[in-house]
Amino acid sequence: MKKIAIDIGHGEDTYNRTGSKGVPGLEEHHFNAAVGIELKKQLEFNGFEVFYTQPPYQKDVGLQFRTELANKKNADLFFSIHADANSDKNVEGHWAFYWHTSAEGKHLAQFLNEEMNRLIGTPPIGSGIKACLPNVSWPNFHVIRETNMVAVLHEHDFMTSRNGLKRLQSNSFRLQSAKANARAICRYFNVTYKEPTQSDYENHWAKQSIEKAINKGVMKGYGDGLFKPDQLLTRAELATVLDNLQLLD
Ligand SMILES: [Zn+2]
């Protein structure tokens, strides 16, 4: 069974702590987490073993920790999920980064580019793939450079573009992005992609409300990516939810 490391860009604390990795209306981690949770589900459905190097809706764990964990656990593929930013507000679209000497990484990046173009049709930036290089400040991503296995970092769209932001905020774009990622990973390993059947996640009557509550920061998602609508709240959790809603002020 192939082992996939899903690396959710940044942490739930990053934007509030640093003011970067987000724009008004979207914290990058929230997009990355939504795609990562769905991608994990899709990959598991297609027979992969999946673990997070950065779990969704948890504090940023640091780049060194992420790559050491992926190396220690002998992942077969490392997949980092991001949304991009640019000072030019007209820049929109997607691109995938790989290490310059890795033909395998380039392959995977190309599959990602093709699946994004086919499923979503947003413009690729340049050719849609870009090599990371040593001894430059950019692009030279730690997670691509320091991982021992094939690795890509996927920038799905630009938060700084008006169209890009709308897409990144929408559930349909997040779902399609996860699907494009899953299809590319399946292609890379010569696995025929199967679309997950409707599970209780898709059908659950409270799904939208729970997602809304998580996205607004009222409630926490589950670090393991599981959707547990029937889980009981503890008194401490309920008090935290009420406090987040500012009902205790
Ligand atoms: Zn990022």
Q: What is the pLDDT of residues 80-89, one digit of tens each?
A: 999 999 999 9
Kindly report, residue by residue over 97-117, the tens digit of the pLDDT. 999 999 999 999 999 999 999
pLDDT of residue 201: 56
| Cα 155 to middle of ligand 1, angstroms | 8
pLDDT of residue 221: 72
| Cα 46 to middle of ligand 1, angstroms | 27
pLDDT of residue 234: 76
Residues ≥6 apart with Cβ < 8 Å to 218: 241, 244, 245
Residue segments in the chain with a per-residue pLDDT below the cut of 70: 197-204, 222-232
Going along the chain from its start, the domains and CATH numbers come out as 3-188 (3.40.630.40), 205-244 (no CATH)
| Cα 13 to middle of ligand 1, angstroms | 13
pLDDT of residue 216: 81
| Cα 58 to middle of ligand 1, angstroms | 15
pLDDT of residue 202: 59
| Cα 6 to middle of ligand 1, angstroms | 14
DSSP helix/strand/coil, 130: strand
| Cα 74 to middle of ligand 1, angstroms | 24
pLDDT of residue 166: 97
Among all chains, which residue has been given the structure tokens 């699946």? 115
Whole-angstrom Cα distance, residue 105 to residue 115? 15
Whole-angstrom Cα distance, residue 243 to residue 229? 21
| Cα 247 to middle of ligand 1, angstroms | 33
